[in-house]
């Protein structure tokens, strides 16, 4: 399916009685790239989990391609084109790489699995390895590829570079760049590697205590060291 817009209006959410997000509003046009930044504990992962239908929503709207999806469950959102790659790298440890990828194909022909191997050649080399035998970086590639094989119209990436070696980070960001360039997916990226996120994104939002404290172009943020230090706790960008 083609890329879809994502519009969030006055979204409040959390876990049980604990409210984490308060009155969040932003829009990501179809085919765009949005980075979600903020210090630890400010609600970034909760935002993506909420969009995917995995938290308690207290109010607000989530529109995918103009269609409200906030009242449907996570599986139904996935069927409508919302792809979610969580921070936890949820591979099936007792399945091979290839079997993990088959899960992501849904109704697509098995030959489509070659798309994953073209994106991440390492996975083809390890296609007969179990998920439990992969490194952290390879598990991240597998989780990402499995989600992408479902051809989501909006892709949510939650800290995909966390704890990975620089060479793996480069491979992943190159793959995300190709996806973005294709115009076939709208991509929301939560990432602690600020410069990588700014190099990737067209627009940026910064969360502070569950609210949007700043939004704008990555160039504007790079040129504003006071905001970078105040909201991200970083002395400067390189």
Q: What's residue 233's pLDDT? A: 87
238 in any annotated domain: no
Q: What's residue 107's pLDDT? A: 82
154 in any annotated domain: yes
140 in any annotated domain: yes
Q: In 10 A of CB 163, how many CB atoms?
A: 11
147 in any annotated domain: yes
CATH number of the domain at 53, please.
Answer: 3.40.50.300
**pLDDT average, residue stretch 69-91:** 93
237 in any annotated domain: no
Q: What CA dihedral angle connects 142, 143, 148 and 154, to 10 degrees?
A: -160
Domain that holds residue 116: 6-232
pLDDT at 237 over 70: no
207 in any annotated domain: yes
Tens digit of each residue's pLDDT (9 = 90 or more) over 173-212: 999 999 888 888 999 999 999 999 999 999 999 999 999 9
Angle (deg, nearest 10), helices 136-149 and 166-182:
10
Name the band, by pLDDT with cuts 50, 70 and 90, for residue 2: confident
Q: What's residue 106's pLDDT? A: 82
Q: Looking at the 3D structure of the chain, how many domains does it have?
A: 1
Considering the chain, what is the average pLDDT of its residues?
Answer: 94
Question: Contact, 89 vs 100, CB < 8 A?
Answer: no
Q: What's residue 48's pLDDT? A: 97
* Placement of tokens 């793959």 in the chain: 175
CA angle 132, 97, 100 (to 5 degrees): 95
CA 47/CA 11 separation, integer angstroms: 9
pLDDT at 238 over 80: no
12 in any annotated domain: yes
Quote the pTM value: 0.93
105 in any annotated domain: yes
CA 203/CA 138 separation, integer angstroms: 28
Residues 6+ apart with CB under 8 A from 59: 10, 11, 12
Q: What's residue 88's pLDDT? A: 83
pLDDT at 147 over 90: yes
């Amino acid at each position: 399916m083609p890329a879809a817009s994502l519009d969030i209006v006055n979204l409040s959410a959390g876990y049980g009685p604990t409210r984490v997000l308060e009155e969040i509003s932003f829009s990501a046009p179809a085919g765009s790239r949005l980075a979600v930044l903020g210090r630890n504990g400010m609600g970034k992962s909760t935002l993506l989990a909420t969009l995917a239908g995995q938290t308690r929503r207290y109010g607000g709207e989530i529109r995918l391609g103009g269609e409200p999806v906030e009242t449907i469950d996570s599986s139904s959102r996935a069927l409508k084109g919302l792809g979610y790659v969580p921070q936890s790298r949820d591979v099936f440890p007792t399945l091979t790489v290839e079997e993990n990828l088959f899960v992501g194909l849904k109704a697509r022909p098995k030959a489509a699995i070659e798309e994953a191997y073209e994106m991440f050649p390492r996975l083809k080399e390890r296609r007969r390895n179990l998920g439990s035998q992969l490194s952290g970086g390879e598990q991240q590639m597998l989780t990402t590829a499995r989600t992408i094989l479902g051809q989501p119209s909006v892709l949510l990436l939650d800290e995909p570079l966390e704890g990975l070696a620089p060479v793996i980070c480069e491979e992943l960001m190159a793959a995300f760049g190709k996806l973005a360039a294709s115009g076939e997916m709208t991509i929301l990226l939560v990432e602690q590697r600020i410069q990588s996120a700014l190099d990737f994104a067209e627009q940026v939002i910064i969360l502070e205590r569950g609210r949007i404290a700043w939004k704008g172009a990555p160039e504007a943020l790079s040129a504003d060291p006071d905001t970078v230090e105040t909201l991200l706790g970083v002395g400067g960008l390189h």
